[in-house]
Structure 1
């Protein structure tokens, strides 16, 4: 190589990871519409991702993972969501639990979990109770079994991803101390029943449904004090839903553009001889493309705020930063999460509805299944209602009040119980 030649820049870790997972993402996208139509769970697709190391993206390289940053993780989650947003959401609980273990105190128990993630083991989510539970109460109980272990008993709904997982992250209360804990339960054991009974019109194959624990065993080492949970958890959970929205927008841009490109018929009062050349229809696709761009950029910005919160937690653990600075980083992440949710939910859902204006009545064919993009975005957007977040962000702007970082759902005093 002469002095006038330039060395090719080395590929970034994100570029390498994108290349590594691209074939899997392609295969996932190829079957996404059919799975949605048939409500067929993506068991094999999630298994393949886990085997390829997707669940260990955040695990340090020293423990066999990819050592990805949060912006790198969310870039990949958004790409996965453009292939199938159901799978991104199905892995939401897993990546949240990984994050919690990353900021936990170093030691053998933390190392054991990092090794499990590197081996391809996945964790599902099981927190929400429905029915007669009052606001803030937890009916799921963890009790000593008399032999040095514990058992978990209760019923959870919205147990997203648990049906695919090796472990279940269950929120419960101890009968002996009254302490709120995370009980990490082996998914495949007597006393655990997982049902795919989610009946939403979108996000049909996330594996969301009922998890029933009837004296399921849990080891003492796998009872985690809830108060030690990573402080930016609600912002993290919301960021995964933002990746679902961004991926849905990108998928809609791809599929609606392909439909318009292939369309042969047009109308006598159209603005071009071919629909694919009609400036009005091209404008619609352009608007959808712009929304996909904004959504992706918003997820990137949100992920940077989460990375700041993570780095603050690590610095506090190392004694390099004070708690006040960490709290400020967590508050900033929560605010960014809420602002992003407020902006993206109506932006993406409206854009995906508008996308149909680029096509004609044939676009509503159930065989084409283009409506799944709107249904998926609308369903993801209904989680943690953004209208409440808008009020909280307004309070922050006017009064300087920090947003709550933990909240609950249930029947308030004097209200009838129900879903």
Structure 2
């Protein structure tokens, strides 16, 4: 072990099977209640608590600090397993793991150690970045203002994914004094924060992605973080969470269609066998779904490897190597997004060709797989990712590392 590693231990990976074995019983408990939560739209407060108590939020924290020491690909492999149990949960934890990754990339020292301790003790971080409504491109209405030894946060955010379950919220804001963009890590349990469960999407219905309002919410000075220091592969990382979620949805759809085909008793007179499970055309449908899910999972995990390389390169003292790794993280996550999006949407539609009319009944909720996949796929428009990949392949144009959404200029008459 080098002196550098002693001073600043990194999470470079662990025994995956041993790590996963810790959480698989919890994943099974989560899976057991997933259908009921979907049908009743019950928010997963209890499953999130099970994961917190088991230390799931600290799987990326170095073992020297009490965490799991998992690599980035190992994290996403775990998230695929979790998404198979309930696809809402990895997305609900998306902001948390991104904030953990940012702290992993922060300079070593007491400030970072405090956050590692919080993660190990079970603290979860939600996110609140997006402002909707009449907000021009680039404008940040949410502000943090100096107030004695602290700061005050004011504003409103939507898509506050996971924040309803969190102890902290990672808020994208602007300093009122300098206009600089910052991250304000704010404690959730305080009078100045109001959270609403008003996410009404047709899929991923229990991710806690509603509105957060901040009225003079207190923020400790050390938790107002210059956005320019944010880890560089963040956009790729956020996308990788969605890819893992999609791969898990595919696994859940494959699990369900396989079970329903095995158990199905009714056959068609013009079918090919005395049992549906023995019908070669039905077997072909399930075989195609199996292959598509396999390819999606393999793509998601391969796309996670450059992010790990970017994390390690962050501390290698070689800016050129670090930049190349960050570019690779963006490009590979974008390539995987193009492929995985299509494969899982196809798989979650095609499964009905192996079943019958009775399998579209609400009680089975098999449509949830497509609705969830379609909802996850609507994040970060795939058409733009395909263009970015093409521009890189043809012209060597580097991808954008950070992008925004907002109202465009008014159309000319």
CA distance in structure 1 between the partners assigned to 2:114 and 2:178 by the alignment: 26
- Could you say what secondary structure the match of 1:380 adopts? helix
Unaligned runs of 5+ in 1: 1-11
CA distance in structure 2 between the partners assigned to 1:411 and 1:29 by the alignment: 40
- Could you say what secondary structure the match of 2:380 adopts? coil
1:272-315: CA deviations, max 9, x gaps?
A: 01111111011111111111111111111011111111111121
1:355-388: CA deviations, max 9, x gaps?
A: 1100011110100011111111110000001001
Q: How does 1:245-324 map to 2 (within 5 A)?
A: 245-316=246-317, 321=318, 323-324=319-320
**How far off its partner does 1:213 sit?**
0.4
**How far off its partner does 1:170 sit?**
0.1
Q: Which residue pairs with 2:59 in the alignment?
A: 57
Q: Which residue pairs with 1:408 in the alignment?
A: 404
- Could you say what secondary structure the match of 1:177 adopts? coil
2:106 alignment partner, one of 97, 104, 107 = 104
CA distance in structure 1 between the partners assigned to 2:114 and 2:340 by the alignment: 38
Q: Which residue pairs with 2:168 in the alignment?
A: 167
CA distance in structure 1 between the partners assigned to 2:289 and 2:411 by the alignment: 41
Q: Which residue pairs with 1:193 in the alignment?
A: 194
Q: How does 1:3-402 map to 2 (within 5 A)?
A: 13-145=15-147, 147-316=148-317, 321=318, 323-402=319-398
**How far off its partner does 1:139 sit?**
0.5
Does the 8 Å CA contact 2:313/2:322 hold for their aligned counterparts?
Answer: yes
Does the 8 Å CA contact 2:300/2:340 hold for their aligned counterparts?
Answer: no
> Which stretch of the first structure deviates more once superposed, 285-294 or 261-270?
285-294
Q: Which residue pairs with 2:7 in the alignment?
A: none
Q: Please tell me the root mean square deviation across aligned C-alpha atoms, in Å.
A: 1.0
Runs of 4+ in 1 over 6 A off after TM superposition: none
**How far off its partner does 1:62 sit?**
1.2
- Could you say what secondary structure the match of 1:406 adopts? coil
Q: Which residue pairs with 2:8 in the alignment?
A: none
1:114-148: CA deviations, max 9, x gaps?
A: 00000000000100000011111111000112x22
Relative to the length of structure 1, the TM-score reads 0.94
CA distance in structure 2 between the partners assigned to 1:228 and 1:215 by the alignment: 25
CA distance in structure 2 between the partners assigned to 1:383 and 1:250 by the alignment: 20
- Could you say what secondary structure the match of 2:277 adopts? helix
**How far off its partner does 1:34 sit?**
1.0
Unaligned runs of 5+ in 2: 1-13
CA distance in structure 2 between the partners assigned to 1:120 and 1:149 by the alignment: 25
**How far off its partner does 1:104 sit?**
0.2
CA distance in structure 2 between the partners assigned to 1:107 and 1:194 by the alignment: 33
CA distance in structure 1 between the partners assigned to 2:393 and 2:296 by the alignment: 23
1:137-175: CA deviations, max 9, x gaps?
A: 111000112x22110000000000000000000000001
Using a 3 Å threshold, how does the CA distance of structure 1 residues 142 and 79 change in structure 2: closer, same or farther?
same
CA distance in structure 2 between the partners assigned to 1:342 and 1:135 by the alignment: 26
CA distance in structure 2 between the partners assigned to 1:140 and 1:345 by the alignment: 32
- Could you say what secondary structure the match of 2:316 adopts? helix
- Could you say what secondary structure the match of 2:379 adopts? coil
CA distance in structure 2 between the partners assigned to 1:358 and 1:305 by the alignment: 37
**How far off its partner does 1:415 sit?**
5.2
Q: How many residues align?
A: 399
**How far off its partner does 1:351 sit?**
1.5
